[in-house]
Amino acid sequence: MSIQPGRRVGVAFVGMGGAVATTAIAGIEMIKSGSNRLDGLPLAGHAVAGMVGYKDLVFGGWDLNGDDLGAAATGHGVLTKQDIENGAQVLNGMKPWPAVGSAKFCKNIDGGNRIVAKDHREAVDCIADDLKRFREESGVDDVVVVNLASTERWPDLDDPTLNSAAAFERGLDSSDEAISPAMLYAYAAIKNGIPYANFTPSVAADVPALVDLAKQMNVPVAGKDGKTGQTMMKTVLAPALKSRALHVDGWFSTNILGNRDGLALNDKDSLQSKLNTKGTVLDSILGYPVEDHLVHIHYYRPRGDDKEAWDNIDVTGFLGQRMQIKVNFLCKDSILAAPLVIEIARVLDLAKKRGDGGVQEQLSLFFKAPMVKNGHSPEHAFGVQERMLLDWLGVH
């Protein structure tokens, strides 16, 4: 086991009251209280010098919904009543900070748990103040920010504001609408030397402007869109199909889920962001375009947070003969996501400690659309990604 006792790290979630964040927090608090075991955490088996221990993580964060985390978690239905009683009671006393918005995005105030800043600069300052206060009040040695908020619409990536650090600064000055709320959080973190990860499909830090800034400031950043269920399977299976020379004629993927995420994806713009991060994985691994690669996500209430994916893969093998593979994954989205979020935070913190700034490509293993350094191509094959991470960690 890998824990280095002593140093404590604060993790600030954008979207602290959501299902993934509350599950991650509950899991760690239950480990602290002895009612959860380490063995559901991907890196628990590896001793890595300098990496913060699970019990040394402390949580904070923002959410538009001001409910205490116990109430929020009960609403999500991921944690059992017993979980909350046996170890996660501490959630009952945790309340998210008000979400910070620039007036630019808050024309229609929704009355939630929100502070409206008069412009982008004031919003950024407000976020930075929250982080500073978090560090001081919790007494942690370092802080990491992880975005778990609802998916934003896809921005115009060609907008000059997003394409250089200098233009981005000017965009902040003018409260340019090209800069989305998620980008404000990312900027505030990076600018203050705080590692930042984006676990959602929102673009956030994945624009040249912020990648450059992270490099200049030598701050670790990573993203985007956590790779949990169907896409994870896809990146596991596709390399093997390629290795066996089984040509993928078509890959039909459908998903049903009934949680807040599913509902959000009923919004066409958010769905597009999600499909953007899911779409290129396959072609990149296989080395040729799969023309009939269809991905559908449907909001289907009976499942709640239990997500189900059904994939049908049509392959052609030797002598042109055709075969089919069908994968049916009955999974739990937040249960798959929460441990990844924790490991991402720990690795980003270690990168900071090692002085290794900019995009952390070794975290590709955990993302559907891995952020890469400028000029690099993302690696999607699961096994290769895993080797990249273990090599970076120094694990053999």
Question: What residues contact 387, with CB distance under 8 A and at least 6 apart?
Answer: none
Query: Closest distance between a second copy and the C-beta of residue 39, in Å?
Result: 6
CB 352 within 8 A of CB 192: no
Query: Closest distance between a second copy and the C-beta of residue 249, in Å?
Result: 4
User: By CB under 8 A, is residue 119 in contact with a second copy?
Assistant: no
Beta bridge mates, 141: none
CB 8 within 8 A of CB 54: no
Cis peptide leading into residue 224 (ω within 30°): yes
What does 213-257 look like in DSSP terms, one character per residue?
HHHHHT-EEEESSB--SHHHHHHHHHHHHHHTT-EEEEEEEEEEE
238-267: contacts with a second copy (CB under 8 A): 239-240, 243-247, 249-250, 252, 254, 256
User: By CB under 8 A, is residue 377 in contact with a second copy?
Assistant: no
CA-to-CA separations, 30 to 85, 91, 280, 331, in angstroms, rounded: 10, 11, 38, 22
Handedness of CA 262, 264, 265, 266 (dihedral sign): positive
Among 382, 388, 392, 393, binds a second copy (CB under 8 A): 382
Among 365, 369, 371, 388, binds a second copy (CB under 8 A): 365
Report the residue number, 319 or 355, with the smaller CB distance to a second copy: 319
CA-to-CA separations, 371 to 224, 242, 368, in angstroms, rounded: 6, 24, 9
Amino acid at 47: A
User: What count of Cα atoms within 13 Å lies in the side-chain half-sphere of residue 202?
Assistant: 26
Chain mean position to CA 208: 19
Query: Closest distance between a second copy and the C-beta of residue 237, in Å?
Result: 6
Query: Closest distance between a second copy and the C-beta of residue 321, in Å?
Result: 5
Residues near a second copy (CB under 8 A), total: 69
Report the residue number, 211 or 246, with the smaller CB distance to a second copy: 246
Report the residue number, 45 or 193, with the smaller CB distance to a second copy: 45
Handedness of CA 23, 27, 33, 37 (dihedral sign): positive
Classify residue 113 by its DSSP letter: S
Report the residue number, 8 or 247, with the smaller CB distance to a second copy: 247
Report the residue number, 356 or 386, with the smaller CB distance to a second copy: 386
User: By CB under 8 A, is residue 386 in contact with a second copy?
Assistant: yes
User: By CB under 8 A, is residue 327 in contact with a second copy?
Assistant: yes
Report the residue number, 37 or 132, with the smaller CB distance to a second copy: 37
264-323: contacts with a second copy (CB under 8 A): 291-292, 294, 296, 298, 300-303, 308, 310, 312, 314, 316-323
User: Which residues of this protein are in contact with a second copy, per CB under 8 A?
Assistant: 23, 26-27, 30, 36, 39-42, 44, 78-79, 83, 232-233, 236-237, 239-240, 243-247, 249-250, 252, 254, 256, 291-292, 294, 296, 298, 300-303, 308, 310, 312, 314, 316-332, 335-336, 338-339, 365, 382-384, 386-387
